[in-house]
Structure 1
Amino acid sequence: MNDESEVIYLSSKGKKGDVSQGLDDFYSLMDGKSTTNSKFIKRIKKTMDNYRKTEEWSEHVMNTEQIKEMALAQGVEEGKREATVSAISKTVKMLKRMNQSNEQILQELKQDYSDEFSDEELEEFLK
């Protein structure tokens, strides 16, 4: 980093070799498990508690919640769209079995799904 600092990557899931009690406690803390009440852990917990009281933490939590809500909403929307695509495909197959022309089927699709799909997208279902 050109400032004489060092980056150390730690993984609480590693299994190779022994680690000190302090590092083992730190890994337990990272994983949400119980720890000893050593000075090291007390100091980390105090720092975490102090940080949670800051405006920066509050903004981080709010942003995280918004991102989770957006991801959930997007997943729900994608699920609805997939279900609709499946329903349209089944409808097209059924109407073709009933000897409906592509023009007739397209008219039906436009009537029922024009608010969700463009004309071009609906035409693709006929192929």
Structure 2
Amino acid sequence: MKKLLIFISLILMVSGCTQDDSAKAIDELLKNNKNVFSVHVFTNKSLDDSFIDSLQEKINDINNQQLVTQAITNISFIDIRDKNKFDYEKIFNLNTYPQILVFQNKELVFITNKTDDLYHFFKKRNS
């Protein structure tokens, strides 16, 4: 019985740390964000220009068509091969790249790997 209680306590501590790391990672990603929405692109290789151009085009369309109340100006690119403060792969369960994560305030609201899906997400929210 005592071993079971110790085991349960350890499990709760580990899961608590994981949730804490997730909250800290999100705080780190959003620390300079002043707007409602922010977009973060995670990759494990250099992105080709066509992907970056497509992403910029979709963000411009979202902003120009006023699909958000406040323009999306916070867009970051994070290469998971670089040394980062957090293990984003584990925290956000990233397994294919590139991955586009959209945060609304401090909540993760959308994940995709296609720029068209990003546009459609905001278009649908505005309907």
TM-score normalized by the length of structure 2: 0.35
More helix by share: 1
Higher RCO (Cα < 8 Å, 6 or more apart): 2
Q: Which has the higher strand share?
A: 2
